[in-house]
Structure 1
Amino acid sequence: MAEGQPAQAPTAGSPENDQTDGAAGNSSLQEPAFEVEVELSDLQKDTDNPLGSVASFKDLGLPPAVLQGLFALNFQKPSKVQEKALPLMLATPPRNMIAQSQSGTGKTAAFVTTVLSRVDFNKPDSPQALLLAPSRELARQIESVIAQIGQFVPDLGIAAAIPGGIPRGEHVKKAVVVGTPGTVMDLIRRRQFDVSHLKVFVIDEADNMLDQQGLGDQCTRVKTMLPKDIQILLFSATFPDKVMKYATAFAPSANMIKLKVQDLTVKGISQMYMDCPGQSDKYEILCKLYGLMNIGSSIIFVKTRESATRIQQSMVRDGHKVSVLHGAYEGSERDSLLDDFRTGKSKVLITTNVLARGIDVSTVSMVINYDIPMKGMGDATHDTETYLHRIGRTGRFGRVGVSITFVSDKKSFMALQAIAQDLQIDLVSLSPDDWDETEMQVQRVIKSSRAQANFVPSAGA
């Protein structure tokens, strides 16, 4: 993510620029017209201050340095989610929040703005805010967003509580702490991290964090170590029913905001599928798509680390410039690989689900699901939530985007059909037998000023 450059706050009457999810935005593209549902907690309903929404960040009473940071990044007009969520999250006394909002709608900037508004920076050595993410990549990205929005905050200190981020024995002396659950838990247990003054606790990708047995247990243990009156903010693009039930217990008496179901499928993305003759044909078809991948940047999602490495090595051997990133790489190497992708040094990245959640690289115009996301023992069930998170790496804030999912047998076709039914979407069929037509369909979308989601599907498998 490019660093936001300091700039003068715009004067009254200056044109309002569009924003991206946690990154500086100079685009003229418009935010999709999402509808946001709000459900107030019983406590909130009893107050004398009914729900309001804001048309400008100036109406929120933000600290001047935070407001200046938002303006410097062209965050002048709140997104639909921000205009509903921020007044609730910033209210006094603080209330818990559960927010379901897809990537690309400004959720990262929403909770970062709340965190920076809650922290007393006259006490820069006292940890006051804790933000958790499922991976070091997402934790690093959130850290970058905090640094950008907080670029004018004096003495802003951010600690990265990720593996290798804080030496053993060294105490955490920063106001804002961003990390992964296991590392944070270890720091607290080793008394390196004093949590007694924490005011706000944020969990990003909360459906994944609270649902996975390991991460869920760790998040719960971290919560038991925190002050009882801490404000809890849970954010995710999806909240399956079973996770929502747990989330409401994890963040009691929470206000809730969510996008309506039909708005969840990222309207800026044309969702396609490639009908491959068989599993063995997928690699050859992937290589044929390479030329289209380089129009912008592309992410290829595969099932396992081993297949990611194998495909990358084969593509490089066949003359294609492709990088690979997955959990087997050491932390610093993962940071470097992702930085190369962000800056455009590498344009095609093969990865596992480590990048499916939350990573914002503005130039991504294509996502390829080489393997359809499945869940359960033995890949028993299609995974609609992971599919949604994967394709959400493109088409962000109205930008153009294409997702192409490979199907090669009845099982994969039925799984994709079930995902399409869950999301109430039509899929465009691509044929490997007519490459000219396939290239034309994909290029037409990538090069258009704005992708649409309502293509009529062709006859397919």
Structure 2
Amino acid sequence: MDVSHEGVKDPMFYASHVERYCTLNDNCTSRSWSRFRRIYVSLVYLLFRHFRQTSYFTLHTIMSFTESENWLALFESVSRISKSKGAELDQESDEKPFTRAEISYLNKLLNSKLFETHDLDFEILRSDPNHPLHSVRTFQELNLKEPLLKGIAAMGFYKPSTIQERALSSLISDNPQNMIAQSQSGTGKTATFLLAMLSRISTDVHYCQCLCMAPTRELALQIESVGRQMAQFMTEVSFATAVRSPRVKVDSNGYVTDQIVIGTPGTIANWFRGTGEYRIDPSKVVMFVLDEADIMIEEEGFLNICMRVKKKLSRNCQILLFSATYEDSIIDFAHEFVPNPIEFRVKRTQLPLKNIKQFYMCFNDWIEKYQALKDIYGGFEVGQAIIFCATRQEASWLDGKMNLDGHKVYILSGDLDVSQREKVIEDFRSSNFRVLITTNVCSRGLDIPQVNLIINWNMPTTRTGSADWETYLHRIGRSGRFGKEGIAVNFIVNEEMYLLKELESHFEIEIPELTADDLNRF
């Protein structure tokens, strides 16, 4: 029996078919199936690791090994060979990783309801002593226009998020200040700068007054969509999208008449030149927002465009810069780009961990892992769950295994194109399925919606083998749905305990071992 498929290189695919075949075939099940099922995936995976230069395996090849009287000896031999060659679980796969821009777009899809966050504590790193910060507790305190307040309420906002409480009064005051903010999706940063834009514009004049630059067309369109919702009762306000196939209104000279323009670097730079079909007068722009700055500076071309655009703006133009990370390169660029800013950063010890119960479970091998996964599902009611794997091979195997066991699961991987990713994300956000499996290359920087269970099938690590605390934070994300606290369970093999200790040290927390009593309490 040969069920090979041309081009299929994933050994876990065959492992799933081996189990299905051996479960249904009397000749196979008459052998020591209970013993065989404990090692067949390990055998396949080790064979794949040892002979990974071959084009692909066939089920016939795998079954020929199992027919051998010495198949256990063969397994042990291959295991020794693999270990001698330093075979280890890859943290990288050959799939095409998501770019940070694509990840950011998925974040906005995941967080399309613009969750309000009131539990984050922001450090104020720099501020103007001549203009002290004033916090607000309600949007009404900001003296926003009534149609804008109505739009905010229609979107489900009733109280400012933490960053909005701290920042908005300074952003929309009579003497508005520049700002740098390190802020993940879901903390209210998109609403922050859109509220500031809608408060700063003059609706009785028709030219570009506020400009937002985003790294991709998809991100720009998403921001513009949120802005339109917020301004739905401000009938005099109009938005333009400076992207491929733009949506824009112009006067007889080609100058944009929309008050707010959201676009990508290349298109905005073209409009600033003043020689093309669409034009923007830089001297009239009163606010410039650079969103996802950490993505921008990765591309030298984007970085140069940002600097050129900024140089054309008036000295009095207010500048806001947002970044999802706060690495040294981002800080250096931000301080050069934004003069005399208010500067916000989420405190490390106040990152969104406190609403999530974190546990670990220690195992000898993947078989114990999978049994524990079944125990967890049987231990408490699972609403929606995300399982993070280190490689596509493991994710594919886990997908097949869970589907065989009756669980409806889907994979989010770098193999999917943008439309396929959007479909998976939208279906998951709409609760069309309960379990999402994703890989390490997809999880870095990927903020997730509210779920009540997150499982790290593999702990995230850096290229040097240490614990990747930033990816870990992004993974465990938010508290759970259905009125329950979020739960994060870290699956760890014995030799990986040092990763757990590194995380505990970094976040200044203690992660307990998950016990049967814990399962009973959930």
Task: With the length of structure 2 as denominator, give the TM-score of the two structures.
Answer: 0.63
Aligned residue number for residue 295 of structure 2: 209
The amino acid across from 1:408 in the alignment is: V
The amino acid across from 2:502 in the alignment is: A
Aligned residue number for residue 113 of structure 2: 23
Instruction: Tell me by how many angstroms 1:237 deviates.
Output: 5.7
**Which among 473, 476, 493 is matched to residue 408 of structure 1?**
493
For structure 2, list consecutive stretches of 5 or more residues without a partner in the other structure.
Answer: 1-110, 250-257, 272-276
Aligned residue number for residue 60 of structure 1: 142
The amino acid across from 1:255 in the alignment is: I
Aligned residue number for residue 383 of structure 1: 468
- Counterpart Cα distance in 2 of 1:123 and 1:306: 57
Query: Are 2:506 and 1:419 equivalent residues in the alignment?
Result: no
SS at 1:381 equivalent = coil
**Which among 405, 418, 432 is matched to residue 345 of structure 1?**
432
Whether contact under 8 Å (1:275, 1:430) holds in the other structure is: no
Instruction: Tell me by how many angstroms 1:121 deviates.
Output: 5.7
- Counterpart Cα distance in 2 of 1:312 and 1:122: 57
SS at 1:226 equivalent = helix
- Counterpart Cα distance in 1 of 2:241 and 2:379: 39
The amino acid across from 2:498 in the alignment is: M
Aligned residue number for residue 361 of structure 1: 449
Deviations 1:109-148 (A, max 9, x none): 3233223334556678858432536895x76764554344
Deviations 1:31-71 (A, max 9, x none): 43x54432444xx334xx43222222122232332211222
Instruction: Tell me by how many angstroms 1:388 deviates.
Output: 1.5
- Counterpart Cα distance in 1 of 2:413 and 2:177: 37
SS at 1:419 equivalent = helix
Query: Are 2:167 and 1:85 equivalent residues in the alignment?
Result: yes
Number of aligned pairs?
A: 390
The amino acid across from 1:153 in the alignment is: M
- Counterpart Cα distance in 2 of 1:145 and 1:134: 16
Whether contact under 8 Å (1:102, 1:392) holds in the other structure is: no
**Which among 327, 333, 343 is matched to residue 414 of structure 2?**
327
Q: 1:358 to 1:311 in 2, by over 3 A?
A: closer
Q: 1:93 to 1:359 in 2, by over 3 A?
A: same
- Counterpart Cα distance in 2 of 1:144 and 1:120: 20
Instruction: Tell me by how many angstroms 1:223 deviates.
Output: 0.9
SS at 2:385 equivalent = strand
SS at 2:449 equivalent = coil
Query: Are 2:200 and 1:146 equivalent residues in the alignment?
Result: no
Deviations 1:236-257 (A, max 9, x none): 5652455434432333322112
User: Percent of pairs identical after alignment?
Assistant: 34
Whether contact under 8 Å (2:443, 2:471) holds in the other structure is: no
Whether contact under 8 Å (2:240, 2:260) holds in the other structure is: yes
The amino acid across from 1:221 in the alignment is: N
Whether contact under 8 Å (1:205, 1:236) holds in the other structure is: yes
- Counterpart Cα distance in 1 of 2:278 and 2:488: 42
Q: 1:301 to 1:38 in 2, by over 3 A?
A: same
For structure 1, list consecutive stretches of 5 or more residues without a partner in the other structure.
Answer: 1-20, 444-461
CA RMSD in angstroms comes to 3.8
Instruction: Tell me by how many angstroms 1:75 deviates.
Output: 2.1
**Which among 298, 301, 307 is matched to residue 224 of structure 1?**
307
- Counterpart Cα distance in 1 of 2:518 and 2:406: 22
The amino acid across from 1:239 in the alignment is: Y
Aligned residue number for residue 37 of structure 1: 123
Q: 1:153 to 1:187 in 2, by over 3 A?
A: same
Q: 1:108 to 1:423 in 2, by over 3 A?
A: farther
Q: 1:336 to 1:420 in 2, by over 3 A?
A: same
The amino acid across from 1:404 in the alignment is: V
The amino acid across from 1:303 in the alignment is: A
- Counterpart Cα distance in 2 of 1:122 and 1:309: 57
Q: 1:188 to 1:369 in 2, by over 3 A?
A: same
**Which among 181, 199, 206 is matched to residue 99 of structure 1?**
181
